[in-house]
Amino acid sequence: MRPVELQIEDVAFGGKGVGRTEGKVVFVPYTIAGERVATRITREKKQFAEAELAAVLEESPERTTPKCPYFGRCGGCSYQHMKYKHQLQVKQKQVENALRRIGRLNTPVQTIVSSPQEYGYRNRITVHADGGRVGYYRRDVHELIDVEHCPIAAPEVNQALTELRSRAPRDGHYTLRARSGPRVFAQTNDGAAEALAQIVERLLPTGHHLLVDAYCGSGFFTKRLAARFERVVGIEWDRLAVATAEQNAGANETYIAGDADLEVNRALAGVDLGTTSAIVDPPATGLSAGTRNALLEHPVHTLVYVSCNPATLARDLAVLQAQFTLLSATPLDMFPQTAEIECVAHLCSKAD
């Protein structure tokens, strides 16, 4: 592995620092902008290279001591070496850069909303058991690290981890939860999820008749907002999540198990778009072309886009500009110590 000294210029989405050598970008994990570092090149491509951190030669004042003994080996966290305030600054800048560079959007980004808890916030984790080890896989390598305690997991989850380890479990994957409930997607950070819900609630207008919630899961947003609309329609591909939402659905709630491309188009066809709002909360891959087209064909008065990937959010917003105006983008830190970012985009139809 070739040794290289680098000046770290930035931190890219995904968590790796960015340096340059011989005109080529080099990505280095566990570094901070402004640091001078010694690295070893581990992978080299035509336009970029990846390296591992050997030593920090000039340390940033934003560097701190990680709380986790597995940090740097475990693949879960990327930012424990940064003070939390600086993590927020990094994530805010990454959203700003994505919207500007990918989406060609100049809408000011709101100040990032921090998590109420920096550690101990995860209400569930998935660990792996193999050959007597129980834990997480290493970063970029399929090698299991034996983990006794996870600092970002809630106390109840760590208690479940202790109990699992004591049973010498069979090889496999185990999801450990702070509380029981249906095995459907749910937000992992309760405090940040509440902040997210409040943001979405504030952005939606009063007096609208219809809310369409695509990628609704078991109704995280839909149920909270149902009382504000004459009718709410939740669309979700996961039939178990839809069944869970239907168990306590009100008279004005409808849940559809199906593909968003088809069902968003159906839900919006023929309605009064001027009194209709929509929420989309897609996976990291963002909206499909079909869903984007459905929204362009039926530009609702208010559209709230909840994203977990700034790059695909920026891509989709660039397309939606044909019918919508971006009013604001608000980043939110759902996963402190990690490179993940949530962002809420608020759009309105150009027809209104």
β-pairing verdict for 253-257 and 231-236: parallel
Angle in degrees, CA 156, 307, 309, rounded to 5: 90
Catalytic, out of 74, 77, 308, 348: 308
Among residues 271, 347, 352, 350, which one has the least CA distance to residue 302? 347
Q: Using CA atoms, how far apart are residues 204 and 75, in angstroms rounded to an integer?
A: 37
Determine whether 308 is an active site residue. yes
For the chain, state the CA radius of gyration: 22
Distances (CA, A) of 96 to 17, 91, 161, 306, 331: 17, 9, 38, 16, 9
Cβ atoms 224, 197 nearer than 8 A: yes
For 207, residues 6+ apart whose C-beta sits below 8 A from its C-beta are 275
Q: What's the gap between Cα 183 and its chain centre?
A: 19
Burial label, 179 (beta-carbon count in 10 A; 0-12, 13-18, 19+) = exposed
For 53, residues 6+ apart whose C-beta sits below 8 A from its C-beta are 28, 29, 30, 31, 37, 38, 39
Among residues 297, 225, 292, 220, which one has the least CA distance to residue 261? 292
Cβ atoms 38, 57 nearer than 8 A: yes
Q: Using CA atoms, how far apart are residues 311 and 242, in angstroms rounded to an integer?
A: 28
CB atoms within 10 A of CB 69: 12
Supply the residues annotated as catalytic. 308
